[in-house]
Amino acid sequence: MGIPYYVPSGNECLLFETAFRRQLPLLIKGPTGCGKTRFVLHMAAKLGRPLFTVACHDDLTAADLTGRFLIKGGETVWVDGPLTRAIREGGICYLDEVVEARKDVTVVLHPLTDDRRMMPLERTGEILRAPDEFMLVVSYNPGYQNILKSLKPSTRQRFIAISFDFPPPETELEIIATETGLERDKCRVLVNLATQLRILKDVDLEENISTRLLIYCAILMMEGLDPYQAAQAALIEPLSDEADVQQGLLELVRATWG
């Protein structure tokens, strides 16, 4: 496996490398499907470190990250969680949508993100010292944040941070063409549509269209679906359930594609 394809749009690679070299924890902010996960995959491969990704959610607890004793074949054995494995193997641990995790996760993150750089495994009695190659990366989507779910400042101020957005049009065109093989003219039409959609003020979307959906649409077109059917299934239906919003999106597709 080579290094996963990634087209940078700013100084994010430099910042990631600096953070890695100086053992600074990194926070990535940005909307759904703008390429945060791909960027981390790319950097992990480039730096030659194993990557441990965890999609956080309401019920994620510290033990899901650190590990637990499990019963296997009648014996009780300790099984490392993804964070513990990242520390032991000097890898990168990526907590996606970290604000969704439960609050006991902070007890694990705090001593890992100051000069102690250690993690006590109370259950086994071990104290793990993070090697220089270990790096903690977390992400969240500022568009979701609300009062109940946010990083406490005492956690947040332990990270340097980068803001992500969708790639600029030429980059996005490049990505779609490379990933799907669709001819560039058709890719350009898709990117133009996305640009229109993302600046749209009159349509009530919970979140903007992602590069991923554009790629899905391109795949359906490559498979022979007519562009309107492809847009219906890959763009309009995934974005909204509201009849009037869907109608607005459809008109935009028609206006853009002629």
**Of the residues 44, 86, 93, 96, which one makes contact with a copy of itself according to CB under 8 A:** 96
Site for a copy of itself contains 60 (CB under 8 A): yes
Instruction: Between 18 and 198, name the residue whose CB sits nearer to a copy of itself.
Output: 18
Site for a copy of itself contains 61 (CB under 8 A): yes
Site for a copy of itself contains 127 (CB under 8 A): no
Site for a copy of itself contains 183 (CB under 8 A): no
* Residue 169 CA neighbour count, 13 Å, CB half: 14
**Closest separation in Å from C-beta 203 to a copy of itself:** 14
* Residue 79 CA neighbour count, 13 Å, CB half: 9
Site for a copy of itself contains 184 (CB under 8 A): no
C-alpha closest to that of 254 among 189, 202, 181, 178:
189
Residue 30 DSSP code:
-
Site for a copy of itself contains 24 (CB under 8 A): yes
Site for a copy of itself contains 206 (CB under 8 A): yes
**Of the residues 1, 2, 71, 202, which one makes contact with a copy of itself according to CB under 8 A:** 71
Burial (CB < 10 A; 0-12, 13-18, 19+), residue 246, is middle
Site for a copy of itself contains 178 (CB under 8 A): no
Residue 37 DSSP code:
H
**Following DSSP, what letter does each residue of 179-248 receive, concatenated?**
HH---HHHHHHHHHHHHHHHH--SS--SSPPPHHHHHHHHHHHHTT--HHHHHIIIIIHHH---HHHHHH
Site for a copy of itself contains 231 (CB under 8 A): no
**Of the residues 159, 172, 191, 197, which one makes contact with a copy of itself according to CB under 8 A:** 159
Site for a copy of itself contains 88 (CB under 8 A): no
**Of the residues 2, 48, 148, 153, which one makes contact with a copy of itself according to CB under 8 A:** 153
C-alpha closest to that of 192 among 227, 164, 159:
227
**Of the residues 40, 43, 100, 167, which one makes contact with a copy of itself according to CB under 8 A:** 100
Instruction: Between 105 and 189, name the residue whose CB sits nearer to a copy of itself.
Output: 105
Region of 57-65, 130-138, 190-198, 249-257 interacting with a copy of itself (CB under 8 A): 57-65
Dist. CA 98–CA 60, nearest whole Å: 10
Site for a copy of itself contains 2 (CB under 8 A): no
**Closest separation in Å from C-beta 188 to a copy of itself:** 21
Which is it for strands 51-55 and 92-96: parallel, antiparallel or unpaired? parallel
Instruction: Between 230 and 252, name the residue whose CB sits nearer to a copy of itself.
Output: 230
